[in-house]
Amino acid sequence: MSHSSLSALPAPDRLDVTARLRDALLEASFTADGLLELLGAPAYAALARSEIVPALRATRGDTPLEMLVRLFLLQQPVPHARVEGVLPVDACLESGWLVRAGTDEVAATVDVRPYGGAGGEDWFIVSDLGCAVGGAGGIGSREEGVVLGVGGASTTLAGITVRTPVSAALDLGTGSGIQALHAAQHATRVTATDINPRALHITALTLALSGAPAADLREGSLFEPLRDDETYDLIVSNPPFVISPGARLTYRDGGMGGDDLCRTLVQQAGERLNEGGFAQFLANWQHVEGEDWQDRLRAWVPRGCDAWIVQREVQDVTQYAELWLRDAGDHRGDPAEYQARYDAWLDEFEARKVKAVGFGWITLRKTGAAVPSVTAEEWPHPVEQPLGETVREHFERLDYLRTHDDAALLTGHFKLAPEIVQEQVGLPGAEDPEHVVLRQNRGMRRATKVDTVGAGFAGVCDGSLSAGRILDAIAQLVGEDPVLLRDRTPAQIRLLVEQGFLEPA
Ligand SMILES: C[S@@+](CC[C@H](N)C(=O)[O-])C[C@H]1O[C@@H](n2cnc3c(N)ncnc32)[C@H](O)[C@@H]1O
C-alpha cells in the first residue's frame, strides 16, 4: 500500500494547538452557517458536486473567513502574513495542520469542513485534501487509503440513527469520524474502528477540533478489533458497501466479493448488541436472478434481532458500474482503461448472476424475542430526515403488535398520528372515490391505501373509544354485521399501527 501522494497528517496529540485552531475558526465564523452565507446556496451546493470554481469566485476578497475557506476547503495556499492574525500560524505549522508553500505562503495539510450538529453545534470534519465535499471524484484520487469527508451516505446514516442516550456506541468504519462525532453527543463511551489507520488518525482530529471527547480508536477489519466479550447499545456503520470487481479504494470497496461484506456485518452485529440495542447500517445488496431480494436480506438477520430493512433505490448493473466509475473519476482518464474497468464490472455481475443492486438501510434491534419481526420493504420516496425517532418508534410499535393478538387489538385504544391527511383517488367528477389513501406528512412520509372502513376508523381514533367500539359504530352506520367487521378489520388496524398511521394510546 502506498500513501505517497497523501500528505503527512497533523499531530493528533497536540490538543493545545487544536483547541486554539478551533477558537480561531469559530472567531472567523468558519461555521456551516457562515459558509453558506459567504458562498450563497448555489456555490455551496456546487461544492457537493466537487465543483469549486463558484466557491473560488466567492472567496476572492481577503476577509479572515474568505481566507480560511480558500485554505481549508479549496486547497489554495494563502500568504503567511495575511493569516498571521487569524490563525495560530506558527503552532499550526509546527503541529502539522499547515505547511509552508513557496516563499511566503502556507497551505493546509487536510481539508476541514464546517459541519452543523443537530443541536446547532459548530463542528468540523477533517478529511484528506480535496475530499471535504463531493467524494473522491473531485480529486480523481487513485490512492487506496484516501479518507473522504462528508457525503450523502454519511448524513443519511447520521439522520436515521436512533439518538437515545446510551452507555456504549460503536462506529465501525469511522472514516472522517462523522458518525463517532454524532454518537459522542449521546453515548458515554464511543469506540471507532477502521481498517485504515489514516482514518483513525483523522477521526481523532475531527473529534478534537469539534470539541468532542476522544473516542476509543481501534484498527482492524469489521468486528475483529473488539474483545470477545465487548457489546454495545448502538452500532452504526456506513461500510465500504460498493459491490465491485476487486478492492481498489478502501473507503468504498469492501474487498469481500459481492455483498459479502454487508452480509457479514449484519450477521455478526447480533452478538455485539446489548438487549434493546440498535445496529444501523447503510448497505448495498445484490438482486440475483431467480431470487427475491427480500428473501436474501431476511436471511442476513441474526438470531434474537428484529429488523427493518428499507430498500431506497435499485439500479441495474450498468447504472451501478457507471456510478462508481464516475465516483472514482475514472471517466476523466484514459478511455481504453475506462472501458476495461467497465467491462470488468459487468463480468463480475454476470458471473454472480446479478441483475441489479439495491441500496438501503438496515436496522436491527436486539430483543431476544422467540419470533422476531423482520420487515423488508421498498420505499423509494422522499422522507423527512432526521428519522432517528421514527426508527425508534417503529420498533416500539412492533413490540406492541407482538404482544397484542386480534382480540387485544380490539380492546385497545388508538390515536391518529399527527399530520396525516386523506386523499381520495378516482376519476374527475366521479361521485365515489376508487380508493382512499392515507398520507403522512412527517417521518417516512408513507402513503397507504385503505378501504372506507379503514379511513373512517382512522378518522375517529382519538384514543377515547376502544377499536372494537369504533367498529361497532361503523357497522351500524354502514349496515354491516358488526361480528364480521370485528373479524376482518384487525389486519388493517395492524398494518396502520405498523406503518405509524395509528399510535397505541
Ligand atoms: C464509506 S466510508 C464511511 C466513513 C464514515 N463512517 C462516514 O459515514 O462518512 C467506509 C469506511 O470503512 C473503512 N473500511 C473499509 N473496509 C473496512 C473493514 N473491512 N473493516 C472496517 N472498516 C473498513 C474505510 O477505510 C472507510 O473509512
Query: Does the C-beta of 183 come closer than 6 Å to ligand 1?
Result: no
Res 500 pLDDT > 50: yes
Pick the residue with more confidence: 445 or 248?
445
Sheet holding 435-440, edge to edge: 420-425, 435-440, 447-450
Strands (E), 117-249: 122-127, 166-172, 187-194, 216-219, 232-237
Would you state the pLDDT for residue 135? 57
DSSP 8-class letter at 241: B
Give the ligand 1 atom nearest the CA of 174.
Answer: 6
Q: Ligand 1: which residue has its CA nearest to atom 4?
A: 175
Spatial contact of 39 and 98, defined as CB atoms under 8 Å apart: no
* Mutation test residue for ligand 1: of 238, 260, 262, 264, the one with most atoms within 8 Å of CB: 238
Confidence of residue 142 (pLDDT cuts 50, 70, 90): low
Residue 223's SS3 state is coil
Give the ligand 1 atom nearest the CA of 158.
Answer: 8
Angstrom distance (rounded) from CA 360 to CA 378: 9
Confidence of residue 305 (pLDDT cuts 50, 70, 90): very high
Query: Does the C-beta of 173 come closer than 6 Å to ligand 1?
Result: yes
* Mutation test residue for ligand 1: of 195, 222, 263, the one with most atoms within 8 Å of CB: 195
Query: Does the C-beta of 154 come closer than 6 Å to ligand 1?
Result: yes
Query: Does the C-beta of 301 come closer than 6 Å to ligand 1?
Result: no
* 221 Cα: distance to centroid of ligand 1 (angstroms): 9
Please write down the HEC assignment for all residues of 47-105: HHCCCCHHHHHHCCCCCHHHHHHHHHCCCCCEEHHHHCCCCCHHHHHHHCCEEEECCCE
pLDDT in tens, 170-207: 999 999 999 999 999 999 999 999 999 999 999 999 99
Confidence of residue 1 (pLDDT cuts 50, 70, 90): very low
Angstrom distance (rounded) from CA 384 to CA 500: 14
In terms of DSSP bridges, do strands 187-194 and 273-288 run parallel, antiparallel, or are they unpaired? unpaired
Query: Does the C-beta of 221 come closer than 6 Å to ligand 1?
Result: yes
pLDDT in tens, 411-462: 999 999 999 999 999 999 888 888 899 999 999 999 999 998 999 999 999 9
Sheet holding 502-504, edge to edge: 462-466, 413-416, 502-504
Spatial contact of 444 and 427, defined as CB atoms under 8 Å apart: no
Angstrom distance (rounded) from CA 197 to CA 441: 43
* 239 Cα: distance to centroid of ligand 1 (angstroms): 5
Q: Retrieve residue 171's grid coordinates.
A: 462506529
Confidence of residue 463 (pLDDT cuts 50, 70, 90): very high
Would you state the pLDDT for residue 2? 41
Res 76 pLDDT > 80: yes
Rounded mean pLDDT of 148-162? 95
Query: Does the C-beta of 135 come closer than 6 Å to ligand 1?
Result: no
Query: Does the C-beta of 251 come closer than 6 Å to ligand 1?
Result: yes
Instruction: Give the whole-number percent of the chain exceeding pLDDT 90.
Output: 87
Q: Ligand 1: which residue has its CA nearest to atom 6?
A: 174
What is the residue-averaged pLDDT of the chain?
A: 94
pLDDT in tens, 14-42: 999 999 999 999 999 999 999 999 999 99
Percent of residues in the chain assigned helix, strand, coil, to nearest 5: 40, 25, 35
Rounded mean pLDDT of 245-260? 83
Angstrom distance (rounded) from CA 10 to CA 484: 72
Would you state the pLDDT for residue 3? 41
Angstrom distance (rounded) from CA 175 to CA 154: 10
> How far lies 6's CA from each of 3, 109, 141, 209, 331, in Å?
5, 9, 10, 21, 22
* 426 Cα: distance to centroid of ligand 1 (angstroms): 48
Query: Does the C-beta of 202 come closer than 6 Å to ligand 1?
Result: no
Would you state the pLDDT for residue 371? 87
Label residue 123 exposed, middle or buried (CB < 10 Å: 0-12, 13-18, 19+). Answer: buried
- Which residue type is seen at 299? A
Rounded mean pLDDT of 349-371? 95
Q: Ligand 1: which residue has its CA nearest to atom 13?
A: 173
Spatial contact of 288 and 99, defined as CB atoms under 8 Å apart: no
Closest-CA residue to 467 (of 478, 480, 453): 453
Res 141 pLDDT > 80: no
Would you state the pLDDT for residue 4? 53
Query: Does the C-beta of 145 come closer than 6 Å to ligand 1?
Result: no
Phi, psi of 406 (to 5 degrees): -60, -40
Concatenated DSSP letters for 467-501? HHHHHHHHHHHHT--HHHHHHHSHHHHHHHHHTTS
Spatial contact of 173 and 202, defined as CB atoms under 8 Å apart: no
In terms of DSSP bridges, do strands 187-194 and 166-172 run parallel, antiparallel, or are they unpaired? parallel
Would you state the pLDDT for residue 131? 87
Query: Does the C-beta of 240 come closer than 6 Å to ligand 1?
Result: yes
For the stretch 249-288, what's the b/e string if a residue is b when 16 or more beta carbons lie within 10 angstroms of its beta carbon? bbbbbbbbebbebbbbbbebbbebbeeebbbbbbbbbbbb
